C-alpha cells in the first residue's frame, strides 16, 4: 500500500500457529533478525512469538489467533448471565442497555467486593464481549406460533371450487 506522503505501508496479515512455530524454531537456531529476513516478517513479531512460544504450542495449529481472554469479573458475569437467561425464560426482552445497567447495578453490591465500581464501566465493548463469551444474542425466536383455523380443509376445498368454477366460466 502507498500512503499519501509516498511512504510504503505493509498490508496486515494473520499467520497460522504452525507457521509461527516454524519461525520461532528458525529464530532459536539462528537469530530473530535472520528469521525475520527469511520469512519476510517484522523482527518485533518474531520476538513476540518467541515470548509466547508456550501458548503457541498449546493452541491448534490451524488457528491464527489465541483464544479470547477470560472475563475480568467472572462472578459478576456468571450471575449476570443467569439473570439474562431467567429474564428470557419469563418472556421479558433483554437489551444491551438493560444488560449494561444491570451489570453496573450488580457491581455496586457487597457480594462483588473484588469489583471496584470505579474500575467496572460496563461499556458497549464489554457488553459485546460478555455476550460472545456466554453465547448470547439479541435475536430470539418467538414462542407463540400462529394457530391454524379449525375449518382449514373446508376453506381450502371451498376456495378450490371457487377457482375451478371461474376457470370454466371465463375459459381461463
Low-confidence ranges of the chain (pLDDT < 70): 1-12, 64-70, 113-118, 140-145
Which residues, including other chains, have CB under 8 Å from residue 108's CB and lie 6 or more apart?
117
Spatial distance between the Cα atoms of 65 and 16, rounded to a whole number of angstroms: 8
pLDDT at 159: 94
- As a three-state string, the secondary structure of 64-126 is CCCCCCCCCCHHHHHHHHHHHHHHHHCCCCCCHHHHHHHHHHHHCCHHHCCCCCCCCCCCHHH
Q: Which three cell numbers stand for residue 21?
A: 512455530
pTM above 0.75, yes or no: no
- Residues with Cβ within 8 Å of 130's Cβ and at least 6 positions away in sequence, in order, are 71, 77, 80, 81, 99, 103, 136
**Predicted pLDDT at 17:** 85
- For 28-72, what is each residue's pLDDT tens digit? 999 899 999 999 888 999 999 999 888 888 777 777 666 556 677
Chain CA centroid to CA 165, Å: 57
State the residue for C-alpha cell 375459459. 171
For 124, the grid coordinates are 458497549
Q: Give the chain's radius of gyration (CA, Å).
A: 30
The predicted pLDDT at position 15 comes to: 86
pLDDT score recorded for residue 54? 85
Amino acid at each position: 500500500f502507498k500512503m499519501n506522503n509516498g511512504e510504503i505501508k505493509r498490508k496486515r496479515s494473520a499467520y497460522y500457529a504452525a507457521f509461527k512455530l516454524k519461525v520461532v524454531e528458525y529464530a532459536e537456531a539462528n537469530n530473530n533478525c535472520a528469521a525475520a529476513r527469511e520469512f519476510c516478517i517484522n523482527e518485533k513479531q518474531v520476538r513476540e512469538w518467541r515470548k509466547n512460544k508456550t501458548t503457541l504450542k498449546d493452541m491448534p495449529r490451524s488457528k491464527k489467533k489465541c483464544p479470547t481472554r477470560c472475563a475480568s469479573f467472572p462472578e459478576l458475569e456468571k450471575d449476570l448471565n443467569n439473570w439474562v437467561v431467567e429474564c428470557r425464560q419469563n418472556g421479558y426482552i433483554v437489551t444491551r442497555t438493560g444488560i449494561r445497567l444491570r451489570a453496573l447495578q450488580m457491581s455496586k453490591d457487597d457480594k462483588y467486593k473484588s469489583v471496584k465500581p470505579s474500575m467496572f464501566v460496563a461499556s458497549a465493548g464489554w457488553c459485546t464481549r460478555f455476550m460472545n463469551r456466554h453465547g448470547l444474542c439479541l435475536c430470539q425466536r418467538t414462542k407463540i406460533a400462529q394457530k391454524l383455523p379449525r375449518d382449514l380443509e373446508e376453506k381450502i376445498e371451498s376456495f378450490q371450487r371457487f377457482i375451478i368454477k371461474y376457470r370454466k366460466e371465463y375459459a381461463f
